[in-house]
Chains A and B, each alone.
Chain A
Amino acid sequence: MTAVSRNEVFRRFRRDRLAMFGLVVLVLFALMAILAPLLVDDDGLSAVASLDNPTWARPSGDFLLGTDHLGRSVAAQFVYGSRVSLFVGLMATIFTIAIGSIVGVVAGFAGRWVDAALMRLTDWFLVIPFLPLAIVLAAVLGRGIWNIIFVISITSWPSTARLVRAQVLTVKERLYVDRARALGASQLHVVRRHVLPNVAPLILASATLAVPISILTETTLAFLGLGDPTQASWGKTLEEAFQAGAISRSAWWYYLPAGLGIVAVVLAFTLFGRALEEILDPRLRER
Chain B
Amino acid sequence: MTNTQVPDVRPPRATAASAPPEAPVRLSARDRGTRLLATLFLAPTIVGIVVFTVVPIVGSLVLSLFHWNVIDSPRWAGAANYREVFTDSTVLVSFRNTLVFMVLAVALQLLIALTLALAVNGRMPMWLRSVFRSAFFFPLVLSAASISVVMKYLFNQDFGVVNWALGLIGIAPVPWLTSENSAMAAVILVYVWQQFGFSFLLFVGGLNNIPKEIHEAASLDGATGLRKHLHVTLPLLSPTLLVATVVGVINALQVFEQPYVLTDGGPGDSTRTVVMVIYESAFEQLRFGEASAVGVLLFVLIMAVTALQFRLSRRFVHYQ
B and A form one assembly: no
